[in-house]
Amino acid sequence: MTTTTLRPTERSPRRIAFSQTLSRWDIKLSPYLYISPFFILFAIVGLFPLIYTGYISLLDWDPIRHSGKFMGLDNFAWVLGQTQFWLALRNTISIFLLSAVPQLIIALAIAAVLDSNIRAKTFWRMGVLLPYIVMPVAVALIFSKLFSNDYGLINTLLSDIGLPKVGWHTDVIPSQIAIATMVNFRWTGYNALILLAGMQAIPRDLYESAAIDGAGRFRRFFSITIPQLRPTLIFVIITATIGGLQIFDEPQLFDSSSTVAGGASQQWLTLTVYLHNVGWYQNGKYGRAAAIAWLLFLLIVVIGLINLAITRRIANNDARRNR
């Protein structure tokens, strides 16, 4: 009796269609293609100028020949040895604090009002954004007249009620308050709309449960809105830090009649105005101006990291309390 062995039928290898290969490539590569325009634009208008500025800061740059003598860190040493740099740094931080802190508080209050049940919500939301679309030059010119020492509206009102006039263009703190007021006028409504978008993403069930438990409006705001709004607050704080430390238009145009940028006593001279003065008026010292730009960049990074560390610590403390 003979046995026969059955051989498995040989199958030809399956070929993958080209359309299936394209679909796999689409799944793997399409996410990177979608986000690539941002990184390409950032590399062109952000990363390349940053690296090129760092390169120029190491040279005694000649803008005509597009070359220069290598100076090493001499430009940084020269900038750090100038009294005007430290004065500009003080003024920049002072104006930043005078503008950022009230701006955030007022923006939170406006966003909370816009988030409530009020009539004509669209009208009020558009209204708070109107100062943002006004040209900075127009804002600076108008507010410089309002805060004029002699015939300004603010000093006129102060004199009418029997108070002494304020040297908005001569004293240090009043001039910085005037510039911070201009910054707050332009950016408060913009930040309020960002915070409003974050508030509208908070689940309404949390507010209803808290109201049933007897929590008042202020208790719900500080116990629900602020903790739930933390990511948006971090974004607003970081953007306000970057914008506040790079302020240029308002201090540059605050006193158009003055021949000295930053005030006669440098009372509102900021780092960006000082950078402009060094690069433009001091015989084109672009290497030193680039060094100031890099020092400002490092300052923004340090303050941004401090803000991030503080917010993370607050978040960790809240998480421990909830446990």
Round to whole Å and give the CA distance between 45 and 88.
26
Give the 3-state secondary structure of residue 82.
Answer: coil
Closest CA to 186 of 121, 113, 112, 250: 250
The answer on pLDDT for 295 being more than 90 is yes
At 257-284, the pLDDT tens digits run 666 677 778 888 999 999 988 888 766 6
Indicate the DSSP class of residue 15.
P
Same domain, 39 and 95: no
Same domain, 268 and 157: yes
Q: Is residue 169 part of a domain?
A: yes
* SS3 sequence of 103-139: HHHHHHHHHHHHHCCCCCHHHHHHHHHHHHHCCHHHH
CA distances for 55 relative to 48, 71, 234, angstroms: 10, 11, 32
Round to whole Å and give the CA distance between 59 and 36.
33
Same domain, 110 and 236: yes
Indicate the DSSP class of residue 69.
E
Lowest mean pLDDT among 185-199, 217-231, 262-276, 307-321: 307-321
Same domain, 147 and 295: yes
Round to whole Å and give the CA distance between 316 and 104.
22
Q: Is residue 52 part of a domain?
A: yes
Same domain, 224 and 256: yes
What pLDDT does 151 receive?
80
Same domain, 166 and 32: no
The answer on pLDDT for 123 being more than 80 is yes
Same domain, 49 and 93: no
Lowest mean pLDDT among 20-24, 30-34, 74-78, 139-143: 20-24
**Residues in the chain, overall count:** 323
The stretches of 134-212 forming alpha helices (DSSP H) are 136-146, 153-160, 172-200, 204-212
Task: Give the domain CATH number at 98.
Answer: 1.10.3720.10
What pLDDT does 20 receive?
61
Q: Is residue 191 part of a domain?
A: yes
- Global model pTM greater than 0.85: no
148 vs 315, more confident: 148
Same domain, 282 and 164: yes
Same domain, 142 and 269: yes
Which domain does 295 fall in, by range?
74-322
Residue at a domain's end among 7, 29, 56: 56
CA distances for 204 relative to 199, 228, 247, angstroms: 10, 12, 38
At 186-210, the pLDDT tens digits run 999 999 999 999 999 888 888 888 8
Same domain, 36 and 87: no
Q: Is residue 281 part of a domain?
A: yes
Q: How many domains does the chain have?
A: 2
Q: Is residue 241 part of a domain?
A: yes
